[in-house]
Structure 1
Amino acid sequence: MGNSKIVLPELLSPAGNLEKLRYAVNYGCNAVYVGLKRFGMRAAADNFTTEELREGIEYAHTSGAKLYVTLNVMPRDREFGELRELITQLKELAVDAYIVADIGVMELLKNINPDAVLHLSTQASTINTETCLFWHKYGIKRIVLARELSLEEITYIRKNTPESLELEVFVHGAMCVSYSGRCLLSNYFTGRNANNGQCTQPCRWKYQLVEEKRSEFPIPIEQNDEGTHILSSRDLCMIEHIGVLVKSGVNSLKIEGRVKSAYYTAAVTNAYRMALTDYVNNPDAPVNTAYFKEIASVSHREYDTGYFYTSPLDKAQICTVNEYIKEKAFLSTIEEYNPKTGMALCFQRNKLCLGDTVCLLSPSKTAREIKINELYDNEMNPIENTPHPQMMFYTKIESAKVGDIIRGQ
Structure 2
Amino acid sequence: MLITLWLTTRAKPIMPTTRTATRQTKDRQKPTTKQLRRALMQANRKPELLSPAGNLEKLKYAVNYGADAVYCALDRFGMRASAGNLSPEQLAEGLDYAHSKGAKVYVTLNTMPRDNELSDLKEYAKILAQTTPDAFIISDPGVMDIIKQEIPNAVLHLSTQASTVNSASINFWSRYGVKRVVLARELSLNEIRLIRENINPDMEIECFVHGAMCVSYSGRCLLSNYLTGRNANGGACAQPCRWKYHLREEKRSENLYAEEDPQGTYVFSSRDMRMIEHIGDLVNAGVDSFKIEGRMKSAYYTAAITNAYRIAIDNYFDGKEFDINCLRETENVSHREYGTGYFYTSPDIDANVVDANEYIADRPFLATVSEFNPEKGLAKCYQRNKMLKGQNANLLSPKSFGRDFVIGNMYDMEMNPIESTPHAGMEFYLEIDSANAGDIIRG
Same fold (TM over 0.5): yes
Alignment partner, residue 229 of structure 1: 266
Alignment partner, residue 436 of structure 2: 401
Cα deviation per residue 1:123-179 (whole Å; 9 max; x = unaligned)? Answer: 111111111111101110000011011011111212222222111000000000012
- Distance in 2 (CA, whole Å) between partners of 1:81 and 1:34 is 22
- Distance in 1 (CA, whole Å) between partners of 2:68 and 2:259 is 44
Alignment partner, residue 136 of structure 1: 174
Matched, 1:257 2:323: no
Q: Which range moved further: 61-70 or 395-404?
A: 395-404
Q: CA deviation at 1:327?
A: 5.7
Equivalent residue in structure 2 for 1:68, among 106, 112, 125 = 106
Secondary structure of the corresponding residue to residue 119 of structure 1: strand
Matched, 1:161 2:199: yes
Equivalent residue in structure 2 for 1:266, among 292, 299, 303 = 303
Q: CA deviation at 1:319?
A: 0.5
CA contact (8 A) 2:113 2:234 kept: yes
Q: CA deviation at 1:34?
A: 0.3
- How has the CA–CA distance of structure 1 residues 220 and 236 changed in structure 2, closer, same or farther, with 3 Å as cutoff? closer
Secondary structure of the corresponding residue to residue 398 of structure 2: coil
Alignment partner, residue 81 of structure 2: 43
- Distance in 1 (CA, whole Å) between partners of 2:120 and 2:219 is 25
- Distance in 2 (CA, whole Å) between partners of 1:266 and 1:44 is 20
Secondary structure of the corresponding residue to residue 379 of structure 2: strand
Residue correspondence of structure 1 range 94-105 to structure 2 within 5 A: 94-105=132-143
CA contact (8 A) 1:13 1:31 kept: yes
Q: Which range moved further: 180-189 or 72-81?
A: 180-189
CA contact (8 A) 2:132 2:154 kept: no
Equivalent residue in structure 2 for 1:242, among 279, 286, 291 = 279
Alignment partner, residue 382 of structure 1: 417
- Distance in 2 (CA, whole Å) between partners of 1:201 and 1:327 is 24
- Distance in 2 (CA, whole Å) between partners of 1:125 and 1:96 is 23
Count of matched residue pairs? 399
Equivalent residue in structure 2 for 1:53, among 91, 97, 100 = 91
Equivalent residue in structure 2 for 1:295, among 330, 333, 338 = 330
Give the aligned residue type for 2:46.
Answer: L
Provide the identity percentage: 59
CA contact (8 A) 2:331 2:361 kept: no
CA RMSD of aligned residues (A): 1.8
Equivalent residue in structure 2 for 1:306, among 341, 365, 375 = 341
Q: Which range moved further: 179-188 or 390-399?
A: 390-399
Q: CA deviation at 1:407?
A: 0.5
Give the aligned residue type for 1:117.
Answer: V
- Greater Rg by CA: 2
Give the aligned residue type for 1:249.
Answer: G
Q: CA deviation at 1:77?
A: 0.7
Query: Where does structure 1 lack aligned partners over 5 or more consecutive residues?
Result: none
Q: Which range moved further: 199-208 or 393-402?
A: 393-402
- How has the CA–CA distance of structure 1 residues 212 and 87 changed in structure 2, closer, same or farther, with 3 Å as cutoff? farther
Query: Where does structure 2 lack aligned partners over 5 or more consecutive residues?
Result: 1-42
Q: CA deviation at 1:66?
A: 0.5
Q: CA deviation at 1:88?
A: 1.2
Matched, 1:84 2:122: yes
Residue correspondence of structure 1 range 166-185 to structure 2 within 5 A: 166-185=204-223
If the length of structure 1 is used for normalisation, what is the TM-score?
A: 0.94
If the length of structure 2 is used for normalisation, what is the TM-score?
A: 0.87
- Distance in 2 (CA, whole Å) between partners of 1:313 and 1:219 is 19
Q: CA deviation at 1:113?
A: 1.5
CA contact (8 A) 1:172 1:256 kept: yes
